[in-house]
Amino acid sequence: MPRQRDVLFLLYPTHGHVRPNLAVIAELARRGDRVRAVVSGRFAPEVAAAGAEPVLFDPPLAELPSLAGLTEAEWAEASKDVFLDVIKATRAVVEHAESDPPAVVAFDSALWAPARVTAARLGVPAVQLVPTSIDREPFTPGSVRIGARDDDAEWDRLVSFGAALVSLFDAHGVPGTSFESFTARPGERTVAFVPRDFQPESHRYGDRYTFVGPCLAPPDGTPSWRPPADDRPVLLLSLGTTSNDRLSLFTDCVAAFAESPWHVVITLGGRFDPGALGPLPPSIEAHGWLRHPEVLAHARASVSQAGMGSVMESLAHAVPVVAVPSHPEAIANARRVGELGLGRWLPATEVSGVAVRAAVDAVAGDADTARRLSAMRAHIDLSGGARAAADVIQRVTEEDCE
């Protein structure tokens, strides 16, 4: 029997950061490893169901506000607020890890500061888990950037973060007096939940980066959704959970698709009650929550805010994406979809129900788009998913013991 490993996950508490890791946790638990996950209380049941022991953040991390409509400057400020909030959890994470040391720390990229402090204190390896495309290692020129490069603004962010980082590292007895000490430890492995072909400039990333693609949980019991009995093509419309407060876009799309051939499945991400959309025609249904893969298995197109989780779910099912992004990170994802010919994206100034319907009709009927989607799905299948991610996490513990 292989020896049991002890893995400590640090998960940033949003759906887009937690969900990709659940299948990895389940795979490690299936292999017989002990898994713990530091997470917020609202995700503790899902983490436990996947096979991990939940450990709650203390103090709790702040709820992420809506990201809809943020400018690049506002996005950078929000990123800074998240970072300053995250480092407050470091002491409790370190104390928990020292009282019951893991063999490896597997951490969401938003939690790199407490994770690297913990790994350095314990002398154990760490694996970074990135739920989106990789931009740069933290705290190198351009690292906290979406959009045009601005070295002066980047340096200002380095200075503002620097004092907090030096204090954090010094408080835990870890040298942190230079910007170099804030980047990844030598040899640290990174797992990205995108396939290599989706990663921009993927040639820049060597062997310590593993692009495993989306890690989708297997079907769980009886499906919560079934396709319509008629032969209408199915469209999934969702704005995710962090920028889904655009009720007028939902209602505008309802009007645009009411007389169309499409059967539209809308998910509202808990932001609105379905009743807020008003009376719906028989060809349109709305849900607070729904397992998207169940719909995508039958869908001909999807409309999303271009969060990476939504994009990857669609591509894993070879479903074309119409992206309506409303913040810088989603815009970068949407542009990548467009560059690769896997769908279309609409800038905020062009978004309307009529424009969304026109884009859906165009991508769903395009043979070249279908061909590229089929090739991307094949690439995703070969990327390895949760099994490949679990392999990396287990391998670093073996290498550390050699």
Q: Which residue has the tokens 């991508």?
A: 363
Distances (CA, A) of 23 to 17, 242, 272: 12, 22, 28
Which pLDDT tens digit goes with each residue over 307-359?
A: 999 999 999 999 999 999 988 888 999 999 999 999 999 998 899 999 999 99
Going by pLDDT thresholds of 50, 70 and 90, the confidence category of residue 89 is: confident
Whether the predicted pLDDT of 1 surpasses 60: no
Residue 161 pLDDT class (50, 70, 90 cuts) = low
Interval 62-86 mean pLDDT: 72
Residue 70 is predicted with a pLDDT of: 66
Statement: residue 5 has pLDDT above 60? yes
Banded model confidence at residue 62, pLDDT cuts 50, 70, 90: confident
Q: Is 124 left (phi over 0), alpha (psi -120 to 50) or beta?
A: beta
The yes/no answer on whether domain 234-381 falls in CATH 3.40.50.2000 is yes
Asked if 337 contacts 79 with a C-beta cutoff of 8 angstroms, the reply is no
- Range in 136-140, 141-145, 209-213 the model is least confident about: 141-145
**DSSP classification of residue 400:** H
* pLDDT at residue 146 tops 80: no
Amino acid code (one letter) for 372: R
Residue 63 pLDDT more than 80? no
- To the question of pTM greater than 0.85 for the whole model, the response is yes
Please report, for the chain, the start and end positions of each structural domain, with discontinuous segments joined by +.
Answer: 6-213+384-401, 234-381
Q: Which residue has the higher pLDDT, 153 or 285?
A: 285
| pLDDT confidence bin for 35, thresholds 50/70/90 | very high
Give the Cα separation of 136 and 212 in Å (integer): 18
The lowest-confidence range among 123-137, 276-290, 386-400 is 123-137
What is the model's pLDDT at position 147? 47
Residue 154's pLDDT band (cuts 50, 70, 90): low
The pLDDT of residue 327 is: 81
| Percent of the chain whose predicted confidence (pLDDT) is above 90 | 58
Q: According to the model, what pLDDT value does residue 75 have?
A: 67
Q: Is the pLDDT of residue 169 over 80?
A: no
CB contact at 8 A, 165 and 182 = yes
CB 34 within 8 A of CB 6: yes
Domains 6-213+384-401 and 234-381 share a fold: yes
Look at residues 103, 128, 133 and name the one whose alpha carbon lies nearest to residue 116: 128
pLDDT above 60 (res 137)? no
Condensed to tens digits (0 to 9), the pLDDT of residues 273-300 reads: 888 899 999 999 999 888 999 999 999 9
pLDDT at position 246 is: 78
Q: DSSP strand E in 203-352: where?
A: 209-211, 234-238, 263-267, 284-287, 299-304, 321-323, 343-345
**Cβ 86 vs Cβ 17: under 8 Å:** no
Amino acid 215 reads C
Report the candidate in 296, 225, 282, 226 with the shortest Cα–Cα distance to residue 254: 282
Rounded Cα distance between 51 and 34, Å, is 9
Q: What is the mean pLDDT of residues 25-54?
A: 96
Pick the CATH number of 6-213+384-401 from 1.25.50.10, 3.40.50.620, 3.40.50.720, 3.40.50.2000: 3.40.50.2000
Exposure string (b/e) for 20-47, b if CB count within 10 Å is 16 or more? bbbbbbbbbbeeebbbbbbbbeebbebb
Question: What percent of the chain shows pLDDT beyond 70?
Answer: 83
- What digits encode the pLDDT tens for the residues 190-229? 999 999 999 998 988 889 999 999 998 777 767 789 999 8
